[in-house]
Structure formats: C-alpha cells, structure tokens
Amino acid sequence: MTSQLPSSPSASPRRRSVVKAAAATAALAPLAAALAGPAHAAATAPAFLHGTASGDPLPDGVLLWTRVTPTADALPGSGKGPDTEVAWEVAEDKGFTRIVARGTVTAGAATDHTVKADVRGLRPQTTYFYRFTAGGTVSPVGRTRTTAAHDASTPGVRFGVVSCANWESGYFSAYRHLAARTDLDAVLHLGDYIYEYQSGGYPEAKYAVRQHEPRHEITTLADYRIRHGRYKTDPDLQALHAAHPVVAIWDDHEFANDAWSGGAENHTAGGEGEWAARAAAAKQAYFEWMPVRPSVAGTVYRRLRFGNLADLHLLDLRSFRSQQTKFGNGSVDDPERTITGRAQLDWLKSGLASSDATWKLVGTSVMISPVAFGSLPAHLLGPLAKLLGLPEGGLAVNVDQWDGYTDDRKELLNHLKDRGIRNTVFLTGDIHMAWANEVPMNMATYPGSGTAATEFVVTSVTSDNIDDLLHVPADTASLVAEAAVKAANWHVKWLDMDAHGYGVLDVTAQASQMDYYVVSDKTQQNATSAWSRSYRTLNGTQKVERVYRPV
C-alpha cells in the first residue's frame, strides 16, 4: 500500500555546474556511509545487501527499487526466504525530517525478494531522498530527481551515458565517477548492463580481473537472478544507483550474444533449452532487478519527457528483430527483415512527428550510422570482427547493427526528412568505442545528400576494445584502425577505439553536447577519470562540431 503526504514549498532552482572532485567526494560522504550498511546478511534480521535504486523519473514520480535478504539463506536465485514486508519513505531532505510519501510492499521468493514502489504525487524537477526498512533494518539512502513538467520550460537537462559493463573485464570506476557528480538529472544506460558468458569465456580466464557468479553461462531464471545479484554487490554500481535515477534499456548480453526474436548466436537449442524460455527468464530477472517499468508487451521501448526541452525515445532492438543475415547474400536490404518490428517503428515515427520538444533524443542500443571499411591490415580484421560483427575473412557492414537492416533505417531517415523533423540525436552504446557521427541520408553521396540526424556513441565501461583484444598497449593498433575508418566514412567526425569510460550529455535550447570521459585503467579499482573530447550539434543544424571544453 502507499500513502502520500503533503509536500513542502518548492525549493529554489539548483545551480548546474561540473563538480570538482574534492567537493563531489564530500557531497557523497553520507551516501557512502549509508552504502557501507550491513556487510553480510544476519541470520536473525533482514538485510539490504544490493543497494537501492531509482529509475524512469516522471514530473510527479519515480520508480524505487531495492532487494531485501530476509534470511541468510535467501540468496538471489535461491527461491528461499519468507515473505517480508518492506516499508519505503521519500523525503525532501536526507535526514528524513520532511517525509512526503511512504508505503509498504511485500517481497517474496516469487520476485526474488526484489522490491519496487512506483511513487507518485511528487513535485516536478525536485531532488528527493528515499530509503527502505524491514524488520528494524534500514537500507542505504538513495537520492533521486523528478523531471520537469511536460509543458514547462527548463534551461537544460544533463545525463550520464554508459553501456557495456562486463564484470570480468574490469572494475566499474566509470560508475563511481558519475556517482560523484551532483549535476546530473539521470543516467542513461544503453544496454549490456550484465553479460551472460561463463567465467573465462570473455575475456579469457588469464585476462579476467574478477569472476562471474554463477561460473557457468547463464540460461535459467535462477542463473539470471544470480548474475544480476552479483552485479549489484559492486560498490561503484551501488553508488551510481544511490546517487541518480537510471533510465535503462537492454541489448543482447542481458540475454545472449547477438540475440534476435527467435534465438541468439550464443544459444544452442537443445543443449541450452528453448530460446523462448531463456528469453522469458532473462526478461523476468531484468524487470525484477532493474528500476525499469515494463512497457509494451513486456519490453523496454518507452518514452520519457524532460519539459518542453527533450523527448527521450527508448528502443528495444532485440525482442522483435529478424535474425542477423550472413554478409554477401544481399538480404541486408530485404524489406521483410526488421530490427525494430513494425509496431515499434510506427510508434517511434509517430512519436518523433508529434513531438513539440526542442530535441528528440533516441536511445538505441546499436549504431544507426552506416560504416564502410577501407583497407585495413589483416591483423586488425579479427578484433574488428569481434567488435563490429564482421566476417573475419573480409570487410563488410556490421549486420548486428542498423547496417544489417537497411530498409528500417531508410524508412526512419526518410520520415525525418519528409516530415521536417530536426534536432534528432541518437544515443548509442554496444561497440566499445566512442563516436561522434552525422547520420547521412545517403552515405554514398554524403555530404551532398544531406544529414538526417546526429549520433553520439559512448564507449564501454569495461568490455574489451581493439587493443584489449590484441593485448597490446593502448593507442597502438587502434590508431591505425581509426584512421582507416575515418578515411572511408566522412560522416564520422571522431572515434576512439581504445578508451573505456562514459559520456555526459548536456542538452540546452541552443545545443546538445556530449562530453567524453575516459578512465585511467579499468583493471584498477581506484582508476581516475579525465575529460577526453567534446562534440555538439547546434539547434537546427544536424551537424557535428568539436568543442574544446566540457560543459
């Protein structure tokens, strides 16, 4: 049940600024102390071992999440543990002297003892604090923020942007650095939040920094629950969720590599069961363990709005897509093949056409910009094949991305052009590289054919990139590959094939700017973070230009 309490008068608008490291550390001290919490489940009292989280913010509400461990044996995926009543509170201050909403939820084994509370009745564009209580145990405190009212003018909105966090490939220091910022409205996670591989499968065991749980490749509901639970023991991931609302979509590794509607490259029917059962298990665990509202038909495509400044259209590019084609048979252009599915593409086109927001942001888990390849040395083809889905024996389009479903892309880009829809920015992850692209109407005749949109792609949090795959020092093989790609793709204004890190997207009425940050060493828990590059698109231009300082 829930109950709503009157809110206090609106607080004054916050100052939007980049937080210096020392100030950020001080600001997060209360959250860090809260996250220290109970280190182990007590035999006699419930515990909150997986942190707290919030997501999918609205003008009047937000989705809250936690997982309670009612008894020591009630581990993720175990199916053990009694039903447990969990109370939640939302307050305007971290001391919880001004509580504005409270309620209770019963957590049980049927949902792996995860807890969700979809809180409403809050004030727009306001920071709140929340916590959970069970059997006298109080959870870590989380901080969240509602969005601006749908028709309200707002000076700006700022997102952290991340993707591709493989547990065994490194530590999640990128999350820690985003958690340390107090100027973000939300963090956008573009997929591959977890990885499904067995321990030592990717990367090889000798290169793994830490080990997955369970150790085998995950295929069952219990497996996916255990893997999600393992991820949410990471202190940097807990800090990220405690500091900001997260808006997430899935990609393939929440299921299996190169997943499509009827299977996956990394799934063997018979030996690993039926794909439909595996996909259903993966989706159930995802919605149990993530602060995400299920959308149409239990998928993640949905729309959020940030005042009249930005509409955020979030895509599901795994549930409805046709199987990836083999390069060379011409079927990438087959109009019967789809990456979105008919209903989702119509939904996206309608939403883009009807939007009165200044900016139309589209969260897409795989890159929409076309990519062609010039001449590359043979030793680079193997790593690029792994990252971009290319056949190792030759040059080709990436058939797992929009390049493998060209009819859907053509229809969408023609829609943008024909309806005069401007200021469309695609936000992308997946390929463990950072890119700043103009999305051409026709790559063969670019720039003469014009630009339909812009695209900012963020690199991976930890997942291997080209120099990792070759096991060579940073900025060696990647520099050769970058030069070859840019020479063959004039619409690619910048790419970094080697760094790991995150992005910060700053949206104002004048421009959308992506600031790219890199971490010093993904294998070190105390890795530092530094600004790398910034690119922006100005209102009305659909062009990408370099900026020589972060916002």
CATH number at residue 362: 3.60.21.70
- 22: enclosing H helix or E strand: helix 21-27
Residues 183 and 268 in one domain: yes
The whole-number pLDDT of residue 327 equals 61
Residue 146 has pLDDT above 80, yes or no: yes
Residue 534 has pLDDT above 50, yes or no: yes
Which amino acid is located at 518 in the chain?
V
* DSSP SS3 for 398: coil
What the block records as the tokens of 278 is: 């595996």
Most confident of 178-182, 329-333, 373-377: 178-182
Q: Which long-range contacts (CB under 8 A, 24 or more apart) does 296-303 make?
A: 296/343, 296/344, 296/347, 300/248, 300/249, 300/250, 301/249, 301/344, 301/347, 301/348, 302/56, 303/351
CA dist 186 and 294 (Å) reads 18
Q: How far is CA 334 from CA 315, 394, 489, in A?
A: 21, 22, 23
Confidence of residue 156 (pLDDT cuts 50, 70, 90): very high
CB neighbours of residue 272 within 10 Å: 16
Indicate the range of 31-45, 88-102, 239-253, 334-348 predicted with least confidence.
Answer: 31-45
Residue ending a domain, among 100, 121, 145, is: 145
Residue 9: what pLDDT?
A: 33
Residues 360, 306, single domain; the answer is yes
Higher pLDDT, 551 or 244: 244
* Residue 315 and residue 216 share a domain: yes
Q: What is the pLDDT of residue 137?
A: 98
Assess contact for 303 and 293: CB atoms under 8 A: no
Query: What is the C-alpha separation between 218 and 225, in angstroms, rounded?
Result: 9
537 in Cβ contact with 512 (< 8 Å): yes
Q: Are residues 9 and 123 in the same domain?
A: yes
Residue range 105-132, pLDDT digits in tens? 999 999 999 999 999 999 999 999 999 9
Hey, what amino acid is at 232? K
Q: Which of 123, 145, 167 is at the close of a domain?
A: 145
The reply to whether 43 and 191 lie within a common domain is: no
Residue 18: CB atoms within 10 Å: 15
| Helix, coil or strand: residue 278 | helix
CA atoms within 13 A on the CB side of 521: 7
Residue 381 reports pLDDT greater than 60: no
In sequence order, which ranges of 298-405 are alpha helices (DSSP H)? Answer: 342-354, 378-388
Residue 326 CA to chain centroid, in angstroms?
Answer: 28
Q: What is the pLDDT of residue 269?
A: 87
Read off the CATH number of the domain in which 73 is found.
Answer: 2.60.40.380
Same domain, 162 and 114: no
Q: For residue 150, is it within any domain?
A: no
Tokens 């990367």, residue located? 203
The mean pLDDT value of the chain amounts to: 89
| Domain-located, residue 54 | yes
Q: What pLDDT is recorded for position 378?
A: 54
Task: Specify whether 43 is located in the same domain as 111.
Answer: yes
**Residues making up the chain, counted from first to last:** 551
What's the alpha-carbon Rg for the chain, to the nearest Å? 22
Residue 42 pLDDT exceeds 70: no
pLDDT, tens only, 477-508? 788 888 888 888 899 999 999 999 999 999 99
The more confidently predicted of residues 319 and 26 is 319
Asked whether 147 and 131 are in contact (CB, 8 A), the reply is: no
pLDDT value at residue 386: 64
The mean per-residue pLDDT over the stretch 408-418 comes to 97
- Give yes or no: residues 8 and 138 share one domain: yes
The count of domains in the chain is 2
Q: Is residue 460 part of a domain?
A: yes
Q: What's the pLDDT at 43?
A: 55
One domain for residues 475 and 371: yes
What percentage of residues in the chain have a pLDDT greater than 70? 87
Residue 423 is inside which H or E element, if any? none
End of a domain among 145, 179, 201?
145
Residue 63 has pLDDT above 80, yes or no: yes
Determine the Cα–Cα distance for residues 219 and 224; give it in Å rounded to an integer. 7
Tokens 């807990």, located at residue:
238
Q: 3-class DSSP state for residue 311?
A: strand
Question: What does pTM read for this prediction?
Answer: 0.90
Using pLDDT thresholds of 50, 70 and 90, give the confidence band for residue 355: very high
> Is the separation of the CB atoms in 535 and 491 below 8 Å?
no
Shared-domain flag, residues 277 and 388: yes
The reported pLDDT for the residue numbered 443 is 86
**Residues near 354 by beta carbon (within 8 Å), at least 6 away in sequence:** none
Question: Does residue 34 register a pLDDT over 90?
Answer: no
Q: Is the pLDDT of residue 526 over 60?
A: yes
pLDDT at 340 over 50: yes
Going by C-alpha positions, the residue among 287, 285, 306 that lies closest to residue 188 is 306
* 285 and 370 both lie in a single domain: yes
Residue 151 is assigned to a structural domain of this protein: no
**Host domain of residue 350:** 157-547
Q: What is the pLDDT of residue 52?
A: 98
Sign of CA dihedral 110, 111, 115, 120: negative
pLDDT of residue 294: 82
Q: Cβ(154)–Cβ(358) under 8 Å?
A: no
- 135 and 164 assigned to the same domain: no
Residue 152 covered by a domain:
no
Q: Which of 271-275, 403-407, 435-439 has the highest mean pLDDT?
A: 435-439
pLDDT number for residue 5: 43
- Are the beta carbons of 499 and 532 closer than 8 angstroms? yes
| pLDDT at residue number 350 | 98
DSSP codes of every residue in 40-53: S--SSS-B--S-EE
Please report which confidence band the pLDDT of residue 204 belongs to, taking 50, 70 and 90 as the band edges.
very high
Residue 441 forms part of a structural domain: yes
Looking up tokens 């062609």, which residue turns up?
Answer: 372
